[in-house]
Structure 1
Amino acid sequence: MRHKHGYRKLGRTSSHRSALLKNMAIAIIKSEKIETTLPKAKELRGYVEKLITKASTGDFNAHRVVFAALQDKECTKKLVDEIAPKYADRNGGYTRIIKTRIRRGDAAPMAFIELV
């Protein structure tokens, strides 16, 4: 039983899971909307929203913290300079998950995750 367990394992090792979340966060920052499976989208939501909250200060330390998580210069710049200032007056809830379909190959529930 997973009562009060903190995160979804997604069938991956911890390093694979962190790489997956990092790459999906880069993708959502670049395109602002991606389609993925529902559990991945729900796990990504917390990851991206914490990054946006940290980036909202907009100072040099925000750049350092976001770059440490993403390891991508263009996405870090876009997140700190363009995306985070849009949510300066908002207390969380920066992403939206919309359930879309059931994937034909393995019947996995799919969902769009987008920046609000």
Structure 2
Amino acid sequence: MKHGRKIVKLQRKQDHRDALLMNLACSLIEHRQIRTTLAKAKALRPYAEKLVTLGKRGTLHARRTALSTLRHKDVVKVLFEEIAVASKDRVGGYTRITKLGQRRSDSAPMACIEWVDAFVPKTVEAPATAPEAEAADAPAAEAPKKKAAAKKAPAKKAAKKKAAAAE
């Protein structure tokens, strides 16, 4: 029987599993969403939701507890100042897991885990401004190509002259 066995072991020793979950939680807090295997996402969900509960408390003790778990001051700051504040009205269920299908190399089921409350991932914001940046950088990007082509042309001519002289 499987009574009282809630911890997903992920085929790792406890120290390795703790480090894995800490790194996944830090990445989730920093990037707002991450793409990982379904088993890791399901193991990360209760871990991350307990951290948000600590963030909602907002006390010094809660902050130190989160810091001992995550070990990154800047990540704990984002957790307490942004994620916990946005989730203050929510009682639970701070994360969402979306299944993505199978990974091509080993057919492992993949999933995307993200925060439920209105957090726009940083990766989504970049393409919105990318066409403006590409238009501004287009002339600058073409100039080095022309210079490189101009440098190659004399080298080719010199090689042809050497080949002709050798004959």
TM-score where L is the length of structure 2: 0.67
**What amino acid does structure 2 have at the position aligned with 1:108?**
A
**Which protein has the larger Cα radius of gyration, Structure 1 or Structure 2?**
2
- The whole-number CA distance in structure 2 between the counterparts of 1:86 and 1:104 is 36
The match for 1:60 is 60
Distance 1:8 1:64 in 2: 26
Q: SS of the counterpart of 1:7?
A: coil
The structure 1 segments of at least 4 consecutive aligned residues displaced by more than 6 Å after TM superposition are: none
Instruction: In structure 2, give the amino acid aligned to 1:38.
Output: L
Give the number of the structure whose residues are more often helix, by fraction.
Answer: 2
Shift of 1:57: 1.5
Shift, 1:109, TM fit: 0.2
How many residues are paired up? Answer: 115
Matched, 1:41 2:15: no
Matched to 1:52, the amino acid is V
Partner AA of 1:43 in structure 2: A
Match status 1:86 vs 2:86: yes
1:1-116 residue pairs with structure 2 within 5 A? Answer: 3-4=2-3, 5-116=5-116
1:59 CA drift (Å) = 2.2
Shift of 1:55: 1.1
- One-letter code aligned to 2:97: I
Which runs of 5 or more structure 1 residues have no equivalent in the other structure?
none
Distance 1:96 1:60 in 2: 28
Q: Which runs of 5+ in 2 are unaligned?
A: 117-167
Q: Following TM superposition, by how much is the alpha carbon of 1:9 offset from its aligned partner in structure 2, in angstroms? A: 1.0
Higher relative contact order (CA 8 A, sep 6+): 1
CA contact (8 A) 1:22 1:69 kept: yes
For residues 34-86 of structure 1, what are the alpha-carbon distances to aligned partners after superposition, in whole Å with 9 as ceiling and x for unaligned? 00000100000000000100110212122111101100000000101111011
SS in 1 for 2:57: coil
How high is the sequence identity, in percent, across the aligned residues?
A: 48
Higher strand share: 1
